[in-house]
Structure 1
Amino acid sequence: MVSVKAFIIGATGLVGNGFYKEADKSKVFSNIFTLTRRDLLTKSYSNKTTSIIEKNSENWDSIIKDTITKEKIDIFFSGLATTKKEANGFDNQYKIDHDLNLQLAKVAKESGVGTYILISSMGANKDSSLSYLKMKGKLDDEVIDLKFPRTIIIRPGVLVGQRDKGKDKGLFNNVVLFIGEKVHGTFLNNLMYPIYDYEIGKIVVDLIEKTPIPADDEPEVTILNPTQLSEILKNIESNR
């Protein structure tokens, strides 16, 4: 069996942590490196995990470059994101969701990573009239332009799961999350396409398990929207 090494940023967030836990259970992943500002939400993990904590993101470039080069990392996963409320305004959110993500993606590309995986958003479009979706769409396009051997962009619907209780996402987000949890798996599912963190983790791990190493030909780009994510998840569950 081919084994791969993964580097994760955003592992303390909902989706990043969901992917981390699924990758940690997968036999395909031989080593997992996480870079965070604080301890992982998961307190117990296997000895394949190396948790790197650095509160100052200005130092992340060199950490990522050194780790990728030394360990020969195959996969770079970004679940790095925040909310306007947490960042104290959209301008600060943009610096993390767009600027920092793009900066670290460039480091990963320059350091020789073969597969880059980005968690984006349903409706992401650089021409959107909504600032958030425009930001996400712009980042998607700029990451694709980096021409990784393989780029996988996940555009999920409403993200549901057990979040950090110490963080308030704001009234609007809290209402959306509450409704998302209630309609998940019901006939109303297609209104919001809610998806749990661990479900995204299963989907990404399944993709890597099936094709762990990208080909050496033209750059391969896969963009998965909510309907495609639902179909992949159904196939995963039906094959169990």
Structure 2
Amino acid sequence: MAAASITSAVFGATGLVGAHIVTSLLTLDAFGTVHTITRRAPKQAADAVLSKKLDAIVEKDTELWVPKLNELLTAGSKTAAPPPAVFSALGTTRLAAGGIANQWKIDHDLNVEIARAAKAAGVKTFVFVSSAGTRSLVARMLPYSKMKNGVEDTIKELDFDQAIILQPGLILGDREVEHQGAGTFKALVKGVGSISKSWHDSLGQDADVIARAAAHAALLASQGKAPSKYWVVDTAAIVKLGRDEWKF
């Protein structure tokens, strides 16, 4: 008997990594319906093939996202049970948010609320795209690191059956709103990559590789192959799962 397909919900589905996560899940046979809650329709909704597995909920008010998620998790949408896997690549920039306080509401508070709602509804696997290098003595004092670390710590405390934390380096790809100074760092990574592929891989990873790593890790977890209950996927593991071992 074939294994049941994995239903999932994705937050940050119109962002750089999140959009690639949605595409990865939609193209993998192991995953069934993919639910998204976004302020605008994800690009996959316009694709005749990909949209067949997509349940896109559009809600411009982010304060209503968790209530929408609760409806989805407790009553089901196109499925009779809540999605066993929830992914969050949700994040914004200080510039786009209009200041650090507003960025905190999205990058930290909303991610924490999503994780708590998922746990309360019985979601088995929670996947969060965080960031590398946020725990060092200097970095941990920065607002961005505090946001990421706070979400990671909450997910760990919630004690999901399976938590997967991806910690990429510089995320490579074209954003609608670029992070301040990112262009310079991307040029640096590209230059380093012309000298050493391994140096490039340790410094920055392409958004589609990070997304595929997230999907691959969730698939392995569903098969009981995750190395630990709280699985931190570092830069080397991201490249391994999302590029070198991506055979789907």
Q: What is the Cα deviation at residue 220 of structure 1?
A: 1.2
- Distance in 2 of aligned mates of 1:15 and 1:234: 15
Q: Does 1:24 align with 2:33?
A: no
- Distance in 2 of aligned mates of 1:11 and 1:79: 7
Q: Secondary structure at the match of 1:77?
A: strand
- Distance in 2 of aligned mates of 1:81 and 1:181: 24
Q: Does 1:222 align with 2:225?
A: no
Q: How has the CA–CA distance of structure 1 residues 231 and 34 changed in structure 2, closer, same or farther, with 3 Å as cutoff?
A: same
Amino acid aligned to 2:222: P
Q: How has the CA–CA distance of structure 1 residues 213 and 6 changed in structure 2, closer, same or farther, with 3 Å as cutoff?
A: farther
Residue 7 (structure 1) aligns with: 9
- Distance in 2 of aligned mates of 1:97 and 1:49: 24
Q: What is the Cα deviation at residue 133 of structure 1?
A: 1.4
Q: Secondary structure at the match of 1:101?
A: helix
Q: Map of 1:138-153 to 2, 5 A cutoff?
A: 138-153=150-165
- Distance in 1 of aligned mates of 2:187 and 2:60: 31
- Distance in 1 of aligned mates of 2:191 and 2:232: 27
- Distance in 2 of aligned mates of 1:21 and 1:15: 10
Q: Map of 1:141-220 to 2, 5 A cutoff?
A: 141-164=153-176, 167-170=177-180, 172-184=181-193, 186-187=195-196, 189-190=198-199, 193-212=203-222, 220=229
Conservation of the 8 A alpha-carbon contact between 1:23 and 1:201: no
Q: Does 1:129 align with 2:141?
A: yes
Q: What is the Cα deviation at residue 204 of structure 1?
A: 1.8
CA distances 1:60-113 after superposition (whole Å, capped 9, x unpaired): 122101111223211000010011111121121111100111011111111111
Bigger Cα displacement from structure 2, 4-13 vs 42-51: 42-51
Residue 79 (structure 2) aligns with: none
Q: Which runs of 5+ in 2 are unaligned?
A: 77-81
Equivalent of residue 36 in structure 1, options 32, 38, 45: 38
Conservation of the 8 A alpha-carbon contact between 1:86 and 1:169: no
Q: Map of 1:55-74 to 2, 5 A cutoff?
A: 55-71=60-76, 72-74=82-84
Bigger Cα displacement from structure 2, 147-156 vs 128-137: 128-137
- Distance in 2 of aligned mates of 1:214 and 1:66: 28
Amino acid aligned to 1:25: T
Amino acid aligned to 2:212: K
Q: Does 1:49 align with 2:60?
A: no
Q: Map of 1:92-131 to 2, 5 A cutoff?
A: 92-125=102-135, 128-131=140-143
Q: What is the Cα deviation at residue 26 of structure 1?
A: 0.1
Over the aligned positions, Cα root-mean-square deviation in angstroms equals 2.3
TM-score w.r.t. length of structure 2? 0.85
Q: Which runs of 5+ in 1 are unaligned?
A: none
TM-score w.r.t. length of structure 1? 0.87
- Distance in 2 of aligned mates of 1:46 and 1:177: 32
